[in-house]
Chain A
Amino acid sequence: MTHTPHRLEVINASIGYGERIVLRDISFQVPHGARVAVVGPNGAGKSTLFKALVGLLPMKSGRILIHGLELGLHKDCVAYVPQREEVDWKFPVTVTDVVMMGRYGKLGWFKRPSREDRAAVRESLEQMGVAPLEKKSIGELSGGQQQRVFLARALSQEPHILLMDEPFTGVDVTTQDATLNLLDTLRERQVTAIISTHDLNLASNRFDFILLLNKRVVAFGQPGEVMRQENLSRAFGNSLLVMGNGAMLVDECCPPDEEERHD
């Protein structure tokens, strides 16, 4: 049987900053077009994982393969929608400027945007419902609008893998719906989506796979398998309360202890 490469494979990856290891020995495989929710307490390493997937943070050990090829051999295959605090909102760019940046990967070094690129940009804007805002400076937008603009940029990049860092946190309902609609569209296009979120309900109901992280892979698989008490205990530690009637409560406030507790 020929081995069809998964869209994304992470093999024994350890990732960290300087001397510190944040993610230890991570392994999982994501098929084409799948929708993965990355879940875990604060400080579990979700953002760190994304930075490594984008190529911003080199791995200390292990491999990351996209379509069976090493990370780094792909051009603009991975799109990333950042958390809102990471953006310089005072930079003099308009909505169109930002979304056009997504096309730069296709333009190469010296070409200028063509009519095709402009059409792609317009389409992305319309899809995210922000077309009327196309000439506005990004600083003039509301939180939800800003999010949708960056989604539009990710769309215009025509990626194979889309990463989103907490897109459902602190945004209005319109934006949440728009984001979910986007995810459906992406699935039709066979784009793999990997989203970090604190919304455990959403994760269980609307995602194909859940990656439960706490510095290591606690569990990876379909929601039914992953969201079980033993897994949640290992992930959330004492922030998880199991009540008499079987209900479980999670308080996500704090980063977990430095020490590994359940290995």
Chain B
Amino acid sequence: MKRNGMIDWLLGPLTYGFMQRGLAASVMVGILCAVMGTYVVLRGMAFLGDAMSHAILPGIAIAYIFRGNLLIGAIVAAGVVAVGVGLFSRKGNLKEDTAIGILFAAALSLGVALISTMQTFAVDLSHILFGNVLGVSTGDLWLTAVLGAGILITVGLLYKQFLVISFDPVLAATLRLPAELLRYLMLLLLALTVVVSLQTVGVGLSSAMLVTPAATAYLLTRRLFPMMLVSALIGALSSVVGLYLSYYLNIVSGAAIVLTATMLFLIAFLWKRLKT
């Protein structure tokens, strides 16, 4: 019977615990990246998101050397890069993408150099933090949920402030908002988002999920809050569809999710083109 077949088709993959967890994790990460991605797209920070995901390498290396928590090391490294970019590009010292380019290369090289000097009998570091969505444990899931919720709550509380500093920095001054502080806070939230999503879904996926769903939402909405909602929806949808594709068509999960998100973008782009 057709109806049964459809339900079986939907529920089939979910009989596996790792699929359930993978689905939950990638949906959470998809939503989180999509919401932060709204700011990334509107403020032109796409390069920064990518840079951060590579720049955490020295953070993990140093944390490993000092036997600290690798996740904290990663967050600190991403935070340092974010703040560094903020400092270098203040008030026209350097253009922001130049600052990012310099710090990205420096951090990545530092990380590679540190790792290559370590000849201990240990797990290959570059595999540790660059996760795979199918390898998400229950502990990982809780961590992602808690951190993700924290980030989203902060964005919700500071929605007005982030809107003003993104749209009109002069108004921010007249309203006496601590614009610099807010900018650094936004960069730190971005750093946290990148690290959380790296743990779950890996390098190439996280920077794509920051940009593509939000870019798609930008084409489809006219206002900021709807843009965030649509972006989150697209992020979640890409994750779900991508995982199902990975299951039924035997494609690597990360790639499947990114390709789905890109397809959705192309559809929106063409639809908008045809409309005008």
Contacts and interface: CB of A to CB of B under 8 A. Distances in A.
Interface of A: 51, 54-56, 72, 74-76, 78-80, 82, 86-88, 91-94, 97, 101-102, 104-105, 107, 109-110, 137, 153, 157
B170 A54 contact: yes
B233 to A, nearest CB: 16
B164 A92 contact: no
Contact of A78 (B158, B169, B174, B224): B174
B174 A80 contact: yes
A94 B222 contact: yes
Interface string B160-178: 1101101111110111100
Contacts of A88: 167-168
Interface of B: 42, 157-158, 160-161, 163-164, 166-171, 173-176, 218, 221-224, 227
B85 to A, nearest CB: 20
Contacts of B166: 91
B175 A92 contact: no
Nearest to B93: A18
Given A92-B42, A92-B218, A92-B227, 7 more contacts: A54-B170, A55-B176, A56-B173, A75-B175, A80-B174, A91-B224, A92-B222
Given A75-B175, A92-B224, A101 B170 contact: no
A174 to B, nearest CB: 24
A105 B223 contact: no
A137 B223 CA distance: 8
A157 B176 CA distance: 13
B171 A80 contact: yes
Contacts of A76: 174-176
Contacts of B222: 92, 94, 137
Nearest to A96: B223
B223 A92 contact: yes
A80 B223 contact: no
Given A76-B175, A76-B176, A105-B176, A94 B170 contact: no
A79 B174 contact: yes
A226 B218 CA distance: 51
Nearest to B221: A92
A65 B161 CA distance: 26
B164 to A, nearest CB: 6
Contact of A101 (B157, B164, B227): B164
A226 to B, nearest CB: 28
A110 B173 contact: no
Contacts of B164: 101, 104
B175 A104 contact: yes
A110 B157 contact: yes
A35 to B, nearest CB: 20
Nearest to A76: B175
A56 B170 contact: yes
A75 B178 CA distance: 12
A261 B227 CA distance: 55
Nearest to A106: B175
A54 B172 CA distance: 10
Contacts of A97: 223-224
A137 B227 CA distance: 13
B31 to A, nearest CB: 19
Nearest to A140: B222
A147 B77 CA distance: 44
12 contacts: A54-B173, A76-B175, A78-B174, A80-B170, A91-B167, A92-B218, A93-B167, A101-B163, A101-B167, A101-B168, A107-B160, A137-B223
A101 B171 contact: yes
Contacts of A137: 222-223
B94 to A, nearest CB: 14
Given A75-B175, A93-B223, A137-B222, A87 B161 contact: no
